Structure 1
Amino acid sequence: MIGGGNITEITHFILLGFSDFPRIIVVLFVVFLVIYILTLTWNLSLLILIRMDSHLHTPMYFFLSNLSFMDICYVTSTALKMLYEFFQEWSIITYVDCVIQNFIFSTMGLNESCLMTAIAYDRYAAICNPLLCYSLHFCGPNVINHFFCDLSQLFVLSCTDSFFLHLLTVILTMIFGIVNVSIIMISYVYIVISIKKITTGSFRSKAFNTCASHLTAVTLFYTSGMFVYLSSSSGSSSSFDRFASFFYTVMIPMLNPLIYSLRNQEIKDALRRLQKKSRYC
């Protein structure tokens, strides 16, 4: 902290993380570490597979490869610091690092939301605020009851009037959320209408399977994110909020490559081709 007259300038924050669960801290660390490693492994594997197989060089898999890359950045921006915090009584993060973390996390989350909208449009065609914290001034408490620099927590700690910044954040979130969800819903209305016109049962089943994975990922991403931000609009951060935040910041990036590839025949065919190539090498 830097003192200037009667004002104490905040230069760092203290992240409490999951320090209020000392009895299961080792279990949480192991579970979260395994989930983080799986997230990196599955997303990198999907990224490499799409890159190596020419049959997957289509707009749909271009979107998926970008989604995998963003998921890696998205989860790494919070998970590495969170894992480090487990064996610290508290974790210190500088103001600049806090801003950078929030910028990366917010940018990747927003891009992922827009990318899911693009994937929804691509499926239809195939079938038929982050830097706001620079404006905040901190001169009081610097303890964040979370495992990363969440913007709602920074608004609470700010000693300046953050009403308009908070209002702007809510408006931008609603605009992007409503626009993206609306485009996704409209796309799926047309998808359902188009599928109903398909007379062949096998093609209809294939069309539904094609959309099911994307709709599952969209539902998980938006419902978990909206629940956390609506429930924590007051700025408080309960233990449940932290675990729910972990779900959409770490768990969903881990699940995305599985959701998009398990029932995807093209991915399975690409894996077989890759296995055949490795045998001949």
Structure 2
Amino acid sequence: MDQKNGSSFTGFILLGFSDRPQLERVLFVVLLIFYLLTLLGNTSIIALSRLDPHLQTPMYFFLSNLSFLDLCYTTSTVPQLLVHLRGADKSISFAGCVAQLFVSLGLGCTECILLGVMAFDRYAAVCRPLHYTVIMHPRLCALMASASWFIGFANSSLQSGLIFLVPLCGRNKIDHFFCEVTPLLKLACVDTTENENEIFFVSVIILLIPVALITFSYGQIVRAVLRIKSASGQRKAFGTCGSHLTIVSLFYGTAIYIYVQPSNNYSQDQGKFISLFYTIVTPMANPFVYTLRNKDVTGAMKKVFCQDYDSR
């Protein structure tokens, strides 16, 4: 951070939705409900994958990783947003802004990679069923999950460092509801073209390479499923993969809109509402999309609840 920002600079003001006071009241209620559902749904997925032996498979290992990631991702932004929606003080300290950017960006990048890994898992399950346990052995699963987290936070470290090295010259009003890459760069008092180009290049790699892997995997899956003669087998394969594709579409669609477009086409107001999708809507939808038509998870829930009821 430039010295001009240092001695007297204490923090930022997150403008959020302050220009729409009536909308703030509605958003507070809606986001509070969504956040509680996110906590409930994702915690349930993690608990069930631990408690039921039938769910201790690579698919649910990655799904519980995704649920934990979504819990952390939502918690890094939504509680503070709820406080700001209910109060006049919308400030965040400099250290808090750095931490929020680092954590949210790291978790977002990790989710991009993890969704690609989950597509490979579904490809192995559908297209290589006889070799599935050999391909997706526990050590490889742990390695791929660890690599997703490492790459995500390594990229976040680089991006966060570069962003906070840009001189702001005392500007501290962020036109967003959390510390995010594009709104922070708009505070700069110097030309940020190089930063924007670097962010665009990294975003293309982090976003589009997993999308290419997912597209290839599901192309192969569709071919394999269409060769299945059993209608029930086709429905089961498409049901499981359809859940993953729904989450992928929600997450990547909104993330690509935010990060992979020219800065002069970026609308700050649209960016705020699109950001709500990948910070709260997608994490909330994840457990429900995966469990709504999944007999394994619903069966595990019945077992757990029945055991609790019988023990009473």
Give the match for residue 48 of structure 2.
49
Q: Give the 3-state SS of the residue equivalent to 1:86 in structure 2.
A: helix
Q: Identify the residue that residue 73 of structure 1 maps to in structure 2.
A: 72
CA distance in 1, matches of 2:105, 2:301: 33
Q: State whether residues 11 and 95 of structure 1, in contact with CA within 8 Å, keep that contact through their aligned partners in structure 2.
A: yes
Q: Which runs of 5+ in 2 are unaligned?
A: 128-154
My pick for the range that moved more, 101-110 or 270-279, is 270-279
Structure 2 residue aligned with 1:193: 223
**Could you tell me how far 1:162 is from its partner in structure 2?**
2.7
How much has 1:90 moved relative to structure 2? 4.6
The aligned residue for residue 229 of structure 1 is: 259
Question: TM (normalized to structure 1)?
Answer: 0.92
> What code does the residue aligned with 1:262 have?
L
RMSD: 2.2
Q: Cα distance, 1:73 vs. partner?
A: 0.7
Aligned residues between the structures: 279
Alignment-mate amino acid for residue 62 of structure 1: F
- In 2, Cα distance between the equivalents of 1:154 and 1:238? 12
Q: C-alpha separation between the residues in 2 aligned to 1:159 and 1:94?
A: 20
Structure 1, unaligned runs of 5 or more: none
1:1-281 correspondence to structure 2 within 5 Å: 10-128=9-127, 129-130=155-156, 131=160, 132-230=162-260, 233-234=263-264, 238-281=268-311
CA drift of 1:277 comes to: 1.5
Displacement, 1:247? 1.4
Q: What secondary structure does 1:93 align onto?
A: strand
Q: Which amino acid aligns with 1:180?
A: P
Identity %: 41
Name the stretch that deviates more: 8-17 or 137-146.
8-17
* Aligned-pair CA distance for 1:234: 3.5
Letter in 1 for 2:286: N
Task: Point out the more displaced range, 49-58 or 233-242.
Answer: 233-242
1:72 aligned partner, one-letter code: L
Report SS of the residue matched to 1:109: helix
TM-score (norm 2): 0.83
* One-letter amino acid matched to 1:136: V
**Hey, what's the Cα distance between the residues in 2 that align with 1:231 and 1:90?**
32
How far 1:230 sits from its partner (Å)? 4.8
Whole-angstrom distance in 2 between the partners of 1:276 and 1:178? 44
TM superposition shift of 1:127: 0.7
1:152–1:217 distance in 2 versus 1, CA, 3 Å: same
Of the structure 1 ranges 60-69 and 50-59, higher mean CA displacement relative to structure 2 is found in: 50-59
